[in-house]
Structure 1
Amino acid sequence: MRILFIGCVVYSKVILEHLLNENYEIVGVLTKDDTGFNADYFDISSIALKNNIPFLKTKNVNEEHILSWVKSLNADVTYCFGWNSLIGSDFISLIPRGVIGYHPASLPQNRGRHPIIWALVLGLKETASTFFMIGEGADDGDIVSQNKIPILEEDSSATLYDKLIESSKSQVIMFTNQLIDNSLVPIKQDHSASNVWRKRSKVDGKIDFRMSSRSIYNLVRALTKPYPGATVVSDGNEFVVWKVSIAETSLVNLEPGKVLAANENKYLVKCGLSTDAVLIEEHDFSNNISVGSYFI
Structure 2
Amino acid sequence: MRVVFIGTVEFSKQALLKLAELQVNVVGVVTKAKSDFNADFANLEEVCQEKDIPYKLVNNINHPNNVAWIKAQNPDILFCFGWSSLLKSDILSLAPMGVVGYHPALLPNNKGRHPIIWALVLGLEKTGSTFFFMDEGADTGDILNQKELKIAPDDDAGTLYTKLTLLALEQIEEFIPQLQAENYPKVPQVGEGNAWRKRGRKDGEIDWRMSSESIRNLVRALTRPYVGAHFMYKEGECKVWRCAMEDGIVDKNIEPGKVIGASEAGNLLVKTGDAAIWLTDFDLKEEIEVGEYLI
- Bucket of the pairwise TM-score, normalised by the shorter protein: over 0.9
> Do structure 1's residue 185 and structure 2's residue 162 form an aligned pair?
no
Question: For residue 42 of structure 2, what is the aligned residue in structure 1?
Answer: 42
Number of the residue aligned with 1:272: 273
Q: Deviations over 1:39-58 (max 9, x none)?
A: 00011122111111111011
Which amino acid is the alignment partner of residue 216 of structure 2? Answer: Y
Cα distance in 1 for partners of 2:43, 2:112 equals 24
Q: 1:218-249, CA deviations, whole angstroms, 9 ceiling, x for partnerless residues?
A: 00000000000000112222110000111144
Structure 1 distance, partners of 2:238, 2:220, is 16
CA displacement at 1:250 relative to structure 2: 2.8
SS at match of 2:29: strand
Distance 1:63 1:106 in 2: 31
Partner of 1:22: 22
In 1: Cα distance, 2:277 partner to 2:249 partner: 9
Q: CA deviation at 1:104?
A: 0.4
Deviates more, 1:126-135 or 1:228-237: 228-237
By how many angstroms is 1:99 displaced? 0.3
Shift in Å, 1:181: 1.1
SS class of match (2:175): helix
The answer to whether the 8 Å contact 2:250/2:276 transfers is no
What CA distance in whole angstroms lies between the structure 2 residues aligned with 1:35 and 1:155? 26
Is the CA contact (8 Å cut-off) linking 1:115 and 1:197 kept in structure 2?
yes
CA drift of 1:77 comes to 0.8
How far apart are the structure 1 equivalents of 2:225 and 2:55? 26
Distance 1:92 1:223 in 2: 32
Task: Report which stretch shifted further, 123-132 or 86-95.
Answer: 86-95
Q: More deviation in 124-133 or 29-38?
A: 29-38
CA contact (8 A) 1:140 1:191 kept: no
Contact 1:143 1:186 in 2 (8 A): yes
Moved over 3 A (4+): none
How far did 1:113 drift?
0.3
Conserved? CA contact 1:4–1:28, under 8 Å: yes
Contact 2:244 2:280 (8 Å CA) reproduced: yes
Structure 2: how far apart are the matches of 1:2 and 1:202?
41
Paired residue type of 1:266: N
Deviation at 1:63, TM superposition (A): 1.1
| 8 Å Cα contact 2:8/2:41 also seen in 1 | yes
One-letter amino acid of the structure 2 residue matched with residue 147 of structure 1: K
1:241 aligns with 2:247: no
Counterpart code for 2:134: I
1:85-234 alignment to 2 at 5 Å?
85-192=85-192, 194-234=193-233
Deviation of 1:85 (Å)? 0.5
Give the TM-score taking structure 1 as reference length: 0.97
**TM-score with structure 2 length normalisation?**
0.97
Q: Secondary structure at the match of 1:49?
A: helix
- C-alpha deviation, 1:103, in angstroms: 0.3
What are the within-5 Å matches in structure 2 for residues 7-86 of structure 1? 7-86=7-86
The answer (yes or no) to whether the contact 1:32–1:43 under 8 Å persists in 2 is: yes
Cα deviation for residue 33 of structure 1 reads 2.2
**Identity in percent:** 45
Please provide the CA RMSD for this pair.
0.9
Q: What is the alpha-carbon distance in structure 1 between the residues aligned to residue 170 and residue 291 of structure 2?
A: 52
Q: Which runs of 5+ in 1 are unaligned?
A: none
Letter in 1 for 2:267: K
Stretch moving more, 247-256 or 137-146: 247-256
Residue 286 of structure 1: aligned partner: 285
Stretch moving more, 150-159 or 91-100: 91-100
